[in-house]
Amino acid sequence: MEPISSLQNPLIKLIQKLDKNRERRKQNLIPVEGLRECRLSVDGGFTIEKVMYCSEYISEEDIKKELNLSPATLCIDTVPNVFDSLVYRKGIANCLALIHPKSYQFEDITNSRNLLILIIDSVEKPGNLGAMLRTCDAAGVDAIIVCDPQTDVYNPNCIRASLGAVFTKKTIVTTVEDCIEWLNTNSVNTFVTYLESAQNYTLEDFTKPTAIVVGSEAYGIKDIWLKSGFKNIIIPQFGKVDSMNVANSAGIVIYEVIRQRNLSRD
């Protein structure tokens, strides 16, 4: 079959629409760029519908080998300028897969003595969300709960910033109210990062089942969290800027949890 050579090809135009959240929901497809990211999606149990590539950059055989795809998986060749119009990283051995998203529920979280959850409330920037997902993968966090998000978990910028970690962790999208109810029902020790808290995060005991809550980049923690009876914690800061990046804050507290749990096993 001849490679697709026209930017007006119906499939190419359909893929280009997938940069919009509403179109991803409508088509139930997400575009995933990169051999590493696509392989992580396969390993995570996501279903690939088709793979776009350019045979001048990489062969179909190499793609199927790298992604461990079945021979029946549809791989569609394109000419360089058409493929480059679909991807962020241009002119290299690369691929773009169209993948069906997965939806996780609270029931998918396995409660355990070492449970560690990151709760991200009203996140706005896909880059920050992706960075936090990447940290959660590195730290072995059990699940991520995204409450009332202002950006899509499967936003291409989030997938790229996470290096594909969005496919390695159970990520639940829900409301703040349902999240709080689940935390209380399951007796999860919950700590809310709050700039006006007097309690230094290092003074808390994170060796029990733990959830860490971080707020939005622009508005911080919602009042509903502060009225829910959870513990408020603060990361001490000594500069003139009133807050650090939310992804950095999440990483600092998560690794304090790991530090304490490693010490408790000594």
Whole-angstrom distance, CA of residue 50 vs CA of residue 141: 31
Copy the structure tokens of residue 176: 């703040």
Residue 145 to residue 11: CA distance in whole angstroms: 34
What pLDDT is recorded for position 217?
79
Q: Are residues 163 and 195 in the same domain?
A: yes
Which two structure tokens, joined as six digits, stand for 182?
């689940």
Same domain? For 133 and 26 the reply is no
Burial of 70 (C-beta count, 10 Å sphere; 0-12/13-18/19+): exposed
Q: What is the span of the domain harbouring residue 34? A: 10-100
Same domain, 64 and 144: no
| Same domain membership, residue 124 and residue 88 | no
Long-range contacts of 8-17 (CB under 8 A, 24+ apart): 9/82, 11/76, 12/78, 12/82, 12/85, 12/86, 15/52, 15/86, 15/96, 15/98, 16/85, 16/86
Q: Are residues 88 and 142 in the same domain?
A: no
Using the structure block, give the residue that is written with the tokens 């149990």.
Answer: 45
What's the rounded mean pLDDT across residues 92-110? 94
Q: Residue 2 falls within a domain, yes or no?
A: no
Tell me, what CATH number does 199's domain have?
Answer: 3.40.1280.10
pTM of the model: 0.92
Q: Of 100, 128, 158, which residue constitutes the final position of a domain? A: 100
Final residue in a domain of this structure, among 100, 123, 141: 100
Q: What is the pLDDT of residue 196?
A: 81
Final residue of a domain: which of 100, 125, 140?
Answer: 100
Domain shared by 27 and 87, yes or no:
yes
Residue at 204 is within a domain: yes
| 129 shares its domain with 212 | yes
Whether residue 92 is contained in a domain is answered as yes
Q: Residues 220-264: pLDDT tens digits? A: 889 999 999 999 999 988 887 766 789 999 999 999 999 999 976
In a domain, 94, yes or no: yes
At 22, which CATH number?
3.30.1330.30
- The crossing angle, in degrees rounded to 10, of helices 246-264 and 126-139 is 10
Domain contains 83: yes
Supply the pLDDT for residue 242: 66
- Domain identity same for 181 and 239: yes
User: Which segment of 46-50, 66-70, 158-162, 183-187 scores lowest on mean pLDDT?
Assistant: 66-70
Instruction: Say yes or no: 127 and 213 in one domain.
Output: yes
Q: Is residue 72 part of a domain?
A: yes
Looking at the structure, tell me whether residues 114 and 232 fall in a common domain.
Answer: yes
CA–CA gap between residue 196 and residue 254 (Å, rounded): 20
Residue 5 is assigned to a structural domain of this protein: no
Residues 80 and 112 in one domain: no
As for how many domains the chain has, the answer is 2
Angle at which helix 60-67 crosses helix 35-43, to 10 degrees, equals 40
- Is residue 265's pLDDT more than 70? no
Higher pLDDT, 164 or 111: 164
Are residues 114 and 211 both part of a single domain?
yes
In a domain, 3, yes or no: no
For residue range 207-223, list pLDDT tens digits in order: 999 999 999 878 888 99
